[in-house]
Chain A
Amino acid sequence: MDPVKITIDGKEVVTTKGKTVIQAAAEIGVAIPHYCYHPKLSIAGNCRMCLVEIEKMPKLQIACNTQVAEGMGVLTQSPKVLAVRKSVLEFLLINHPVDCPICDQAGECMLQNYYMEHDRQESRFDVGKVHDRKKTIFGPNVIFDGERCIKCTRCVRFCQEITKTDELTVVDRGDHSTIALFPDTLLDNPLSANVVDICPVGALTDRDFRFKVRVWYLEKTPSICPGCSTGCNISVETYQNRIARFKPRVNEAVNSHWICDEGRYCFHDLTDGQRLTTPLIRQEGGLVPVTWEQALQVAGAGLKSTGSSAAILSGRNTNEEAYLFAKLAKRISSRCELEVFYQERALTEVQKILMSPDRSPNFRGAREMGVSSNSGFDPLMKKIIAGGFSAAYVVGEDLITTSSEPDIVRAALQKLSFLVVQDTRLTETAKLAHVVLPATHFGEKEGTYTNRKGRVQKINPALIAPDGALQDSDIFLRLLDYTGETQIYFTPAEIFAALARDIPSYHGIEYELIGDQGIELGSGSAGIT
């Protein structure tokens, strides 16, 4: 890494050989406007928005493709540069429909933003705009508006270079150039919706999010995708206490700039539907509402009085919850076997770019907290099916619908003498329970997940839980109270501090320092990136 000294707008900058001007400028906080440049894609150089003046060079140069050289003088605010930005924006806008009021991108559109920053002139174009297709379905998740497209080719390059699935290309020529699918192709690869995120304008929009809410009303909470144990960093974006969309958050140690489609839309399955807001207990063949005190007493007494029991925690429960759950299981009985839900499926090569084979974002963390039998989840399920337990405590997973043999699981659960189900909805499994405890989901929680590779990352509450439901950790704490082991901690931060003392691999990790990029297990607090 040879150091190279350059000046940017007169300011001396020491950067490294091989960097481009746009990268060197970004390092010191100088944002050179651009459309086609993307740090994870090849250089296209087509938008011409990043043209800058390099001293001693007669022509303006694109900052995205100009490598730094010792003594180079870069001007990003010279009259020539400001003029060319204005002209490039004018070119990009002459055939643009300016249909911002009905465009989902409005509010986060780089045409709008750069127009305000660099252009601000009246249109000089009155000779007839080129028209293009306004709503071409590219795939299950992506729709294309050709008139808004600025032909930056980020989407084409994404499909060529990241997924290597090559669904998209440019067709036609000149101002009739447009993005198109290859014949008999759909943009349906497992990462397809990332093209919406990298589209700098409103050309590619998300069919799921489209027309749902103006983006400026969204509240954004940094969190971790609950879809699998890769632990992709996301922004949970909500409107009126509902999740409107997930967007990827950049974390080079985990997911770079991307998330998979399955993860992106998994919040529907995890949050849709009627919420449970009252604890239920089984009486005379039916489930009836009771108070939390009654429900916890029945649950606690029932679990303690059974012989052998299975305790199954969801893979979406946090480390803090798992830590409490493990403590609780020990208090229930010495014959309680506990496991974290874990199922694998086969992945294609493209899926493997980001996806893990499971759907349990915190299975590793849960295991490390002691939520682990010696056998694993599948053998535990087999034992349930074989009638090896008289009771079960199931948290946050519908064992029936997630099973490949739902009827067999249902029959096994029906034979249990006592079943406690703690979940957000009245699932098929919950319908068989003796006690149903209304809980919260990932979007309502604070805590940490440890991903497959051992990175501890923070999830944050993006939504307010409904009245009547309790946080899983609160339920565990209250059941621990019931079993006579009152804890002295209460908040996720306090629980984390306790588990970091207890669990060797978490020694030295401070909750406050996990930040929004996470910390590798074993690196203590030094792993902040």
Chain B
Amino acid sequence: MEKLLLRNIGIPDSHMLATYESRGGYRSWRKVVETMKPEQLIDEVKASGLRGRGGAGFPTGMKWSFVPKDNPKPKYLVCNADESEPGTFKDRLLIEQDPHALIEGTLIAAYAIQSHAAFIYIRGELAFGANRLHRAVDEAYRAGFVGKNIFGSGYDLELIVHRGAGAYICGEETALLSSLEGGRGWPKVKPPFPATHGLFGCPTVVNNVETLAVLPWIIERGPAAYAAMGTEKSKGTKLFSVSGHIARPGVYELEMGYPFKKFLEEDCGGVPGGKKLKGVIPGGGSMPILRPEEIEKVNLDYESVQAAGSLLGSGGVIVMDETTCMVQAAWNIARFYAHESCGQCSPCREGCHWMEKIFHGIEHGKGEKADLDLILNISGNIMGNTICPFGDAAAMPAAAFIKKYRDEFEAHIAEKRCTVRH
């Protein structure tokens, strides 16, 4: 399969402008600025079937079209490069190895909504990537791809790289905007939505790194070429970050709809050491874990994974073999969400920590039988009742671990110790 997103990865000096240009870089950007109207660009992206790769899978062209054209306020394009989802490291690869693809995609998206200021909000911990991005942006400015009067068209666009301060919640788009505004990284109550009231109260589109980085390819090859890949509703290719008990971990680009089991066993080399697969999280730490029997017929596209009871999410695939203690794994994830809950709304602020404390008790031999139903009840009380999707992100995995590995939890509680590792 042709690589769209990883096409420059592995090329020497792939992060340099000269390398990027030698491989056709910024031609799409020139084509957009010189020959395309914003509406035409939006129509092309709509026609490609591209859906947001941040996790929710919202159609990208449609998102852009929500930006009001008659609003006198400035419009902003913001790239969400705050990749923090546990088990997810695909955006990081693009930022570090192919920053110009991200920049070119960001410029194209900004043009689509006629923004004159675009921001790349990068996770604070990604210092190496941020440095590369800064240098790449400088290169792009010097080459005249960004700034005033781009390609002599009269179109101005500034591009600002902003480093976050290291909170998972700032990957939630409205928390990201709060943080970018200089405030506390708190999600905003919706409505209003960012399309009309985003950054500094102005119309704003927030797109993920992977979503933006594929735009130059779509412009270059046409929407039909993109739409020809993937399934009926999940078009194109997607990056998967594979980690855990797997022979060949790493970032993979797959055509949407690729069989999950085949991917794990053939592309990634399966579970090493002759061990059996115990479970796999398909879409990052916030998505429900799937048991081996549940992935038999699952394909890696939005619809198929959802039908199996989980979500494709960020494509962070976390593989666990039979030696994994599911109590410990569940506690580990619960601890992450308790630590990262922003504390703004009641169910998440209190519920995440409550669940973590109960998981901690079970893991440390202090669990009681009623704890399992209590966690299920708490997660149900968080689910759907919070300001932002973080509550769901904490509630879903907690409930899934208990429902799918209940016998293991019960044994842990009964024997007051781990029955897997010891």
Interface of A toward B, CB cutoff 8 Å: 43-49, 51, 59-60, 62, 65, 84, 87-88, 90-92, 94-95, 124-125, 127-128, 130, 150-151, 169-170, 172-177
Contact = CB atoms under 8 A, between A and B. Distances in A.
B131 interface: no
Interface in B326-346: 338-346
B351 interface: yes
B184 interface: yes
A88 B346 CA distance: 7
20 contacts: A45-B387, A46-B387, A47-B346, A49-B346, A51-B385, A60-B385, A87-B381, A88-B346, A88-B347, A91-B351, A128-B357, A151-B349, A169-B184, A170-B184, A174-B339, A174-B342, A174-B352, A175-B338, A177-B342, A177-B344
Contact of A151 (B191, B343, B357): B343
Given A127-B354, A174-B339, A175-B350, A48 B385 contact: yes
Interface string B167-203: 1000000000000000010000101000000000000
Interface string B384-403: 11110000000000000000
B343 A175 contact: yes
B298 interface: no
A177 B348 CA distance: 12
B189 A43 contact: yes
B374 interface: yes
Interface in B288-337: none
A65 B187 CA distance: 15
Interface of B: 167, 184, 189, 191, 338-347, 349-354, 357-358, 360-361, 374, 381, 384-387
A127 B378 CA distance: 14
Nearest to A51: B385
Shortest beta-carbon contacts, A-B, top 7: A177-B343, A45-B189, A87-B381, A91-B350, A127-B357, A174-B341, A175-B353
Nearest to B183: A169
Contact of A88 (B184, B343, B360, B385): B385
Contacts of B386: 48
A48 B347 contact: yes
Contacts of B361: 127
A188 B286 CA distance: 44
A56 B11 CA distance: 52
Contacts of A47: 345-346
A150 B339 CA distance: 18
Contact of B338 (A46, A124, A150, A174): A174
A174 B381 contact: no
A92 B386 CA distance: 14
A305 to B, nearest CB: 73
Contacts of A62: 189
Contact of A48 (B341, B346, B354, B358): B346
A398 to B, nearest CB: 50
B346 A174 contact: no
Nearest to A64: B189
A201 B97 CA distance: 53
Contacts of B338: 174-175
A95 B346 CA distance: 11
A177 B146 CA distance: 41
Given A60-B384, A91-B350, A127-B354, A170 B343 contact: yes
A94 B341 contact: no
Contacts of A125: 354
A84 B338 CA distance: 21
B396 to A, nearest CB: 15
B387 A92 contact: no
Contact of B343 (A49, A90, A92, A174): A174
A46 B188 CA distance: 10
A174 B184 contact: no
A128 B360 CA distance: 12
A151 B384 contact: no
Contact of B358 (A88, A91, A127, A130): A127
A150 B387 contact: no
Nearest to B184: A170
B346 A92 contact: yes
Contacts of A174: 338-343, 349, 352-353
A174 B191 CA distance: 23
A150 B349 CA distance: 10
A91 B374 CA distance: 13
Contacts of B360: 127
B165 to A, nearest CB: 12
Give the one of B349, B358, B381 with max A CB within 10 A. Answer: B349
A45 B386 CA distance: 9
B333 to A, nearest CB: 15
A46 B357 contact: no
Nearest to B354: A94
